[in-house]
Amino acid sequence: MVEETRGSFALPLALLAASACGGSADSAKGGASDAGPTGDAAVVPPDAEEQPEASPGLIAVPLFSCDGTGYTVGTTIGSQQFQFLVDTGSTTLGVAASTCSSCDVSPKYTPGATAVDKHATAESTYDLGSWTGEIYEDSVVLGSAASTEVDLVGIQTQSMFFGGDSCDSKLGGLQGVIGFGPAEAALPGTNGYFDELVAAASMPNVFATELCDTEGTLWLGGYDPSFTTAAPQYVPLITDPFSQLYYAVDLTSITVNGTTVPIASSTYTDSVVDTGTSVFLLGTTAYDSLTTAIAKSTQFQSMVGQASWFAEGCSQQTAFSATKAGLDAALPALTLTFGSGATVQALPTESYLVSVTSNVWCPALGSQAQSEDGFPFASVMGAAVLRSSVVIFDRAKKRIGFAPHTACP
């Protein structure tokens, strides 16, 4: 997707759509946790549930990633196959159309026999890019799911929306985005793939992700508990004006190295759960406090550097080489605490460090000045920190579940 490049490394920046009118607050888009208590004396975490069996109709779709910061899924539209960014921060499906001379990707969408031109247009603008296009109704298929009719956008013009990194997918490029956000966030005249699938196939209104360094899984209709090591802890979705546009939760604080850093405040309460954002994005005050607390670790100082390392970005000068196991054993993990009382353990390599190539690590934290008209959030929990858990988007019960996951391949 849109990329921010420093040195010879590129971290993909994705989209956080801000309204159904196409606005955006796109900013810096940019493992295995403890198995949990066992035995008779085990304490059940708040909102934890018994481990269920996988649903009979559960659909598992493979995901691909270059560096653990953006995840793509193979998608069929009509008879054509594409690779799209999986984005829970937006809803509309947008694909580069054959008429787009500025879309330097391949393949491009050519409306075929299954397509219906809706004779309407849509546009979306982000801090780092924009596009406009024609709305079509066409059949869309993910994995073994049934074919579903979706009102999507064939992108005809774009600016800085598509990146040039051929590592974006196994097909050699990224041709668009498939949104899994709330239905209300769809651009006018369009709808969301998963909303239409749930309605057409009577599928449970739940999907889930496991994100690993170079691959992952997207489950439609639930999740597979065999990929988890303990029951999920559920946190309720926040009910406020943003709740129609994003999956927002109350992340109250993060504890690391004996220091607890407040995240939510009386002014900025919402933390958005967004697979389409590459980094774990925080307000500047929380970012400064958290990076300082992490860097108090003598192991961090010897292996990585000072707190200023996080702000230097990802380049040949700042990236360092180490094994995942070594980093997770030596450096302090994060404990995320939510307003419901639920806590999530996030290992260093699944929260504030990201591997851009094999065993080469860069910062996975980002900062953004908070403002009501710019970044009105407590944080954006992007792909970097969502790798710490199987994340269950239980839209039917208006909650998000976090379960410690089994070791990635």
Nearest to 338 by CA among 238, 222, 228: 238
The pLDDT of residue 108 is 96
- Structural domain boundaries in the chain: 59-220, 229-404
280-313 pLDDT, tens digit per residue, is 999 999 999 999 999 999 999 999 999 999 998 8
37-69 pLDDT, tens digit per residue, is 233 333 345 555 665 666 668 999 999 987 667
Q: How confident is the model at residue 12 (pLDDT cuts 50, 70, 90)?
A: very low
Distance CA 371, CA 89 (A): 19
**Helix, strand or coil, per DSSP, at residue 356:** strand
Cβ-based burial of 236 (10 A; exposed 0-12, middle 13-18, buried ≥19): middle
- Total length of the chain: 409
Q: Which two tokens stand for residue 45?
A: 């975490």
155-200 pLDDT, tens digit per residue, is 999 998 886 544 544 545 689 999 999 999 999 999 999 999 999 9
The pLDDT of residue 57 is 83
214-240 pLDDT, tens digit per residue, is 899 999 999 999 999 999 999 999 998
This prediction has a pTM of 0.88
**CB under 8 Å to 38, separation ≥6 — which residues?**
none
Domain 59-220 has CATH 2.40.70.10: yes
Nearest to 51 by CA among 408, 390, 395: 390
Domain 229-404 has CATH 3.30.70.60: no
Question: Do 59-220 and 229-404 agree at the fold level?
Answer: yes
Q: How confident is the model at residue 36 (pLDDT cuts 50, 70, 90)?
A: very low
Q: How confident is the model at residue 133 (pLDDT cuts 50, 70, 90)?
A: very high
- What does the mean pLDDT of the chain come to? 85
- Please compute the mean of the pLDDT values over residues 211-216 and round it to a whole number: 92
Dihedral of CA atoms 90, 230, 291, 297 in degrees, nearest 10, equals -160
Distance CA 402, CA 271 (A): 14
Q: How confident is the model at residue 314 (pLDDT cuts 50, 70, 90)?
A: confident
